Chains A and B, each alone.
Chain A
């Protein structure tokens, strides 16, 4: 059990550029979650996968955001045409089916200039 990993850990980009983040969940965890955390706030739910199926999306996930989990293993979160308001920590978590605990990765900190 190597834990949830995320790549990159830090990303600085210019407004209008596209960025993509990767999350590798704990092996055999069927459920995968993405959260966004802004400064001074708790994490906010973005989206959730059960295997490769995206089952729930928050209203926070605008059309510029897209998430995939093509083979039910790793997941990617892409932000198109980034805005300064997208600056945040993006957290990934995973859990096995039927278990309530979510295990979080170290996060990707995005800064949009």
Chain B
């Protein structure tokens, strides 16, 4: 079965520091991978997606992620954290046919001044 694992339920960084949120996947078929962000009491907003084109994917708000098949990873990075980046981040995997997404358990990003 396809699944994603997000390492670290909480990640704390200082403003201006590198952000690294980890996501590993398991899939028997070529996956589609997504990162979504959720602010308190809101729905999910798409940050970026991998759909078998370029392995380095750039998203909104300065985030990017690299698909590494050999490591079955799709880690999310941002060179310099901003206070407004504090939120919950979810990695998700989709399949051909796009009938549903399977989400990880999420990583809460805390940004301190």
Say yes or no: A48 contacts B99, CB within 8 Å.
yes
A65 at the interface (CB under 8 A from B): no
Closest-by-CB residue of A relative to B49 is A101
Closest-by-CB residue of A relative to B34 is A101
Say yes or no: B99 contacts A56, CB within 8 Å.
yes
A61-101 toward B: CB 8 Å interface, digit per residue (1/0)? 00000000000000000000000000000010101000111
Report the minimum CB–CB distance from A95 to chain B (whole Å).
7
Complex interface: chain B residues within 8 A of A104 (CB): 36, 43-45
* Interface, chain B (partner A; CB < 8 A): 9, 32, 34, 36, 41-46, 49, 51, 90, 92, 94, 98-106
Some 25 contacts from A to B, beta carbons below 8 A apart, are A33-B101, A40-B106, A42-B92, A42-B104, A42-B105, A42-B106, A43-B90, A43-B101, A43-B103, A45-B101, A56-B99, A91-B43, A100-B49, A100-B51, A100-B94, A100-B98, A101-B49, A102-B98, A104-B36, A104-B43, A104-B44, A105-B43, A107-B41, A107-B43, A109-B41
